[in-house]
Amino acid sequence: KKMKKILILALSLFLAGCMVTKMSETSGSYKTISSKEAQQMIEDNKDALILDVRTAAEYESGHIPNAVNLSNEDIQAGKVDSLKDKSQLIMVYCRSGNRSRQAAQKLAELGYTNVVDFGGIQSWQGDIEK
């Protein structure tokens, strides 16, 4: 009987731990929009930070005007000191959309509350500056 109580308690603690882990995994959220929607958002929000998460070499080869470069690798490592305002609108893009999704998720997990992923520069219809 005592063993049964211990087993039930252990199972309860295990399940509670799983629920807490699951909740923390989804605590950070971000929004995903199309590049066309992003163009409009950038026009409407002049103080938005446009974040290019490609490598420095990719950024130099051509980027969206006024975009700031901070590689996905640095974001994954938590090197985000340059992003001071956690409530600022941060609009993230990469080459095809994979790294921007990873970076947006990581930023949300780090407590940034206004993160928007608009995929890859490949689908960008606006200006590109070199």
> pLDDT > 70: what percent of the chain?
85
Note if 18 is an active site residue: no
Please tell me the number of Cα atoms within 13 Å of 91 on its side-chain side: 25
- What is the mean predicted confidence (pLDDT) over 47-58? 97
Q: Which of 90, 94, 116, 121 is catalytic?
A: 94
Residue 25 has pLDDT above 60, yes or no: no
The backbone torsions φ and ψ at residue 84, rounded to the nearest 5 degrees and listed phi first, read: -75, -45
Which one-letter amino acid corresponds to residue 50? Answer: I
pLDDT at 20: 45
pLDDT level of residue 21 (50, 70, 90 thresholds):
very low
- What is the mean predicted confidence (pLDDT) over 87-110? 97
Q: Give burial (CB, 10 Å; 0-12/13-18/19+) of 15.
A: exposed
CA 42 to chain centre: 17
pLDDT at 6: 78
pLDDT level of residue 16 (50, 70, 90 thresholds):
low
pLDDT at 1: 72
- Phi/psi region, residue 40 (left: phi>0; alpha: psi -120 to 50; beta: rest), is alpha
- Name the pTM for this structure: 0.78
- What is the mean predicted confidence (pLDDT) over 106-123? 96
CA 84 to chain centre: 15
